[in-house]
A and B are shown apart, each in its own frame.
Chain A
Amino acid sequence: MKQAPAISAVDLLDAVPLRSQTVRAEKRPDGGWLLRVPLRRRWYTRPPLAWLMPISRERAISLDRLGSEVWQACDGRRTVEEIVDLFAAAHDLTFHEARLSVTEFLRLLTLRGLVVVAGRPKAGLPQPRSGEAGAAR
């Protein structure tokens, strides 16, 4: 199988993370977010097995306040570098301190299907519609 080329740290800074549109986000009273990600429908999640076993159709992921900051910053416009800058400024961190934390967190979000990391958008590429991501539905 052909493997996808590894993204260098420099390329990653230029990449633009975008929140998955399939995720339902609910704001919690403590400032964090509760994200609900639909799970892929497998044969065993369908009736009649689903009638016998309670199988959840979505996975809930809870983000604390710091995670929520990064999640909200993934608006499809900001690059990873800009998100790192925001995080560093908000928490009085150096760029590299913030970069380690933010990129590791973005990696987890990507693994869980909450975020997609795309290359830097060129002129003419469609921009995300306003208010479609991040808002509680």
Chain B
Amino acid sequence: MTGAGAARAMGATGESRTMEDLQAIEWFGMRLWVPAEWEIASHSVRSERGRLVFVDRRQERLQLSWAAVRRPPDLAQAMADYRRRDSERQPDSTFRDIVVGRWAGFRSASVRRTLTRAGLYDGPRRLWVEMAIAWPDGHRAELERAILERFELRQPDAPTSRWRAFRMDVEVPREWTIQEVDAKPADVSLRFASGRDRAIVRRTGMLEAWFDGNLESLIRQSLGAVATTCRQATHNGHPAVRSESRERGRALVELFGRPRTRSNLAWVCPTAHALYHVACRFTARRPVDPASLTVRCCPPATARRGEPGDGGKTP
């Protein structure tokens, strides 16, 4: 049974859901645990303000929103505003205050819906975070507590930032900022930038439908006419192909010695049943090794030495 299937089966028994059914999501230094069958329906890639919306099979279940603020917001006032608004919409609502870990908020219950709203302010990051969880099938206290309690914020000075969502798990040096997340069915790519350097991490599934097993040809195809040198390698314990190629720049670029170089790394993870492709584009003065972007493809339990558990770096 798939993770989602297991979660669904457990969902039928209500409070018997255990932590094994939760998946970790990391986004802009926030880590939260949500049921495995909740998927991201909407996302933002702005660090100053944004939100993540999770849905189950039928409806929206959780909304996590964040905003960078200059001074600590008045949490009590914010929650009072929400409470007033909710009671206007649902006059039969009853409210109950909740405090879980750093979260403070309330739970509103009416005939039509039960909703948990909570907020927290993180001083070091000057970040205001709000969470709203909908309970269409009845409130589940244990799950509510687990989601709120297990929420974590990374320190702003952490050397790396980690992105775990859409079945991707990528850890990049802090200077790499996310530019775009493109999530299509069985084809997810995360784009990062650091100055003029660019990196794309892509995960493509449904291999039997389109992939002939030739990684080298796949890389060459993605590079077009650029002359490329490919070599066999190993990544996360899986056979991989690495390539280096130098883009032919315009005359001035060539003259001043700042042509761009492309470096690619691709491998197939049989456990994840997906193809991973890390493509970096950088100036020759500051080379970027695709393996410096840690991409975890399969769980540590199935990994051999040198695999995701220890960072997935190329041996």
Please tell me if the beta carbons of A96 and B273 are within 8 angstroms of each other in the complex: no
Please tell me if the beta carbons of B185 and A101 are within 8 angstroms of each other in the complex: yes
The complex places the Cα of A61 from the Cα of B273 at a distance, in Å, of 30
Query: What's the least CB distance linking A106 to chain B, in Å?
Result: 14
Render B52-92 as a binary contact track against A, CB cut-off 8 A, 1 for contact: 00010111000000000000000000000000000000000
Query: What's the least CB distance linking B32 to chain A, in Å?
Result: 17
Please tell me if the beta carbons of B4 and A92 are within 8 angstroms of each other in the complex: no
Q: Which residues of A contact B (CB under 8 A)?
A: 10, 13, 64-66, 81, 85, 88-89, 91-98, 100-101
Query: What's the least CB distance linking A62 to chain B, in Å?
Result: 15
Contacts of B41 in A (CB 8 A): 96
Please tell me if the beta carbons of A92 and B273 are within 8 angstroms of each other in the complex: yes
Contacts of A94 in B (CB 8 A): 4, 39, 167
Please tell me if the beta carbons of B206 and A10 are within 8 angstroms of each other in the complex: no
The complex places the Cα of A92 from the Cα of B167 at a distance, in Å, of 11
**Sample of 27 A–B contacts (CB below 8 Å):** A10-B58, A10-B59, A13-B57, A64-B209, A66-B206, A88-B4, A89-B5, A91-B186, A91-B205, A91-B208, A91-B209, A92-B205, A92-B206, A92-B272, A92-B274, A93-B205, A93-B206, A94-B4, A94-B167, A95-B39, A95-B57, A96-B41, A96-B55, A97-B185, A97-B205, A98-B185, A101-B186
Interface of A is mostly: helix
Query: What's the least CB distance linking A69 to chain B, in Å?
Result: 10
The complex places the Cα of A81 from the Cα of B58 at a distance, in Å, of 10
Contacts of A13 in B (CB 8 A): 57-58
A66 and B39 in contact, given A13-B57, A95-B4 (Cβ under 8 angstroms)? no
Query: What's the least CB distance linking A84 to chain B, in Å?
Result: 9
B2 at the interface (CB under 8 A from A): yes
Contacts of B167 in A (CB 8 A): 94
B307 at the interface (CB under 8 A from A): no
B274 to chain A: closest residue by CB: A92
